[in-house]
Chain A
């Protein structure tokens, strides 16, 4: 069975500080990993996926298959980064839908 673990329910950092949101997964096959974000009063939206290897809003995430991790990082946090962040795993080919972690509430303090 596939599983996604986000160990921190809440993460509070000061503006300008580095941010790292942790995500670990369990999956026997070859996974696709994603980060979704939900800003206050907005709908859930895709932030980035590991295949694209791009930086979105200053965030990056590297898939580490050895450690089965997909941590989300940003070197300098901004107040507008405050949101709920969800790590999600999907099987290649699209079977079984997306498995989401429980989410991390990121608060950026001024």
Chain B
């Protein structure tokens, strides 16, 4: 099976802009989680989607949002970008029944905000 894919791999945006990141899970996986990774804070949970519904949400401001489509592909959106949003954004998918925490990670999208 193909692994989790994320597009784009690299992105440069300006403060105040918005950005949309995309994640395609492993075929058959219905749960998609998003994480933000920074040198200072490490890996932090953003949110998780299952069957097009947000099931869990981390402690991030409302500028961070996401959605999941019927084919389980997911997007996350960050509006009004701030310099502190520069990070590696990781997507992970999980199959129902295996336990949501056995997650398979994508390569990440490196977002730089200038």
Contact = CB atoms under 8 A, between A and B. Distances in A.
Interface residues of B, number: 26
B7 interface: no
Given A43-B107, A43-B108, A44-B90, A94 B101 contact: yes
A88 B37 CA distance: 14
Contacts, number: 59
A98 B33 contact: yes
A96 interface: yes
A98 B103 contact: yes
A32 B105 CA distance: 18
Contact of B45 (A44, A86, A99, A103): A99
Given A97-B33, A97-B56, A103 B102 contact: no
B45 A101 contact: no
A43 B103 CA distance: 12
A10 interface: no
Contacts of A51: 99
B56 A46 contact: no
Given A32-B99, A44-B90, A90-B100, A98 B105 contact: no
B58 interface: yes
Contacts of B99: 32, 49, 51, 94
B106 interface: yes
Interface string B91-114: 010000001111111111000000
B87 to A, nearest CB: 14
6 contacts: A44-B105, A45-B104, A49-B101, A98-B33, A100-B42, A100-B44
Interface of B: 3-4, 33, 35, 42-48, 55-56, 58, 90, 92, 99-108
Interface of A: 32, 34, 43-46, 49, 51, 86, 88, 90, 94-103
